[in-house]
Amino acid sequence: MHRPIRGMVLLLLAAVLAGQAEGNLTVIPASEDVYINMGENSLSVFNQSDFLLCSIDVVENNQTLDNLTREISYPGVPAIQFDISDINLSQDDMAVLLLKAESIRKGSDPVMATLVTIGSAWNESSDYTTFLINLLPAWNIVKNNDATAYSSNTDGDTVFAFDVSKKLQDAGAEVDRISFLLQAFSNSSAEIAFFSRESDRGPCLVIMPYPQTGVNVALDMARMEEMDSIADMSGELQPGNLSSQLQLGNMSSSLEPGNLGSKLQLGNMSNSLEPGNLSSKLQLGNMSRSMDPGNLGSKLQLGNMSSSLEPGNLRTLNLSNISDMIQTSRMNLTA
């Protein structure tokens, strides 16, 4: 019983924290996506496919050792568009473009996927000429050799993430759409097949405030540890009719003036009950009780007390039992 209870508490806590985070998280799926074949012998646009081909074709013309040339073409160049009309990105927000690769094929050389911003005056039904016009910003970036305009991913796994925060901020609030072009780079032929928006794992923009790493995180960790501690307090119950625990905590008894000169404090008391007919759970916390004058002359502190009750027909432990115990103790001291 201990492990399931603990797991359930932690699961609920994770759900609460996830719900809080989700309230500040915006996910925007792609509104348009195609891939363009810029091969050596054909130029075409593919707009009805379950994947977006991002590829490079490298052919080496090894005429002589001193005259080694390469012919490079791009059979697959994805173009992706997002509707950002309802987005107002602040300086404290971050935006990440996520793509999931269906497959990656490459040779011995690593492959890198790069991303640049292009024009957005196109849709999936546009012809090749329209795309060439919208690709002009990308060609200008290449011609100016502006590496700061590129976002890249070289991790090698199947999830590609590109930081596009500045690109969205530069676009401004007056822009309704933003488009990106993906391109593969490698010293040898390679291809990456990304899931398209027609699948259930297509490209998406994830926008959220930059997470805080100071006080709030420490509070969340403290909350997690507190919940974990509560889960640890639920022990396994032994066979029998025992169904709960008796917990007494932070109990204090304040004695009034007279010959009684101090304070009786009972704290952190716990009773471990053996199998029997106990059937309920009694919790007493922050209890204070005022006693009559007596002859006690010093401060009596009892802490971390534990007692074991033998099996019987006990069902509850009430406050009169505690009062009788204290009265008996007082009479013994005055005798």
> Partners of 151 in the beta sheet?
115
Instruction: Give a yes or no: residue 50 inside a domain.
Output: yes
Per-residue confidence (pLDDT) for residue 100, from 0 to 100: 95
The CATH number of the domain holding residue 194 is 2.60.120
% of the chain surpassing 70 pLDDT: 52
- The total number of structural domains that make up the chain: 2
55 and 118 in a common domain: yes
- Asked whether the predicted pLDDT for residue 102 surpasses 80, the reply is yes
Least confident of 45-59, 127-141, 168-182, 270-284: 270-284
Query: Given 192, 209, 226, which residue is the final one in a domain?
Result: 209
- Asked whether the predicted pLDDT for residue 333 surpasses 50, the reply is yes
Residues 174-194, mean pLDDT to the nearest whole number: 93
Instruction: Give a yes or no: residue 20 inside a domain.
Output: no
Main-chain dihedrals φ then ψ at residue 115, nearest 5 degrees: -135, 135
Are residues 151 and 164 in contact, defined by beta-carbon separation less than 8 angstroms?
yes
Range of the domain at 105: 25-209
Give per-residue pLDDT as tens, 66-100: 666 788 899 999 999 999 998 888 888 999 999 99
Instruction: Give a yes or no: residue 219 inside a domain.
Output: no
Residues 261-265, mean pLDDT to the nearest whole number: 39
78 and 153 in a common domain: yes
159 and 254 in a common domain: no
What confidence tier does 241 reach under pLDDT thresholds 50, 70, 90? very low
**pLDDT, the chain, mean:** 70
Instruction: Give a yes or no: residue 227 inside a domain.
Output: no
- Asked whether the predicted pLDDT for residue 225 surpasses 60, the reply is yes
Are residues 258 and 221 in contact, defined by beta-carbon separation less than 8 angstroms?
no
Per-residue confidence (pLDDT) for residue 250, from 0 to 100: 42
Per-residue confidence (pLDDT) for residue 89, from 0 to 100: 84
180 and 36 in a common domain: yes
Q: How far apart are CA 71 and CA 16, in angstroms?
A: 55
148 and 106 in a common domain: yes
250 and 178 in a common domain: no
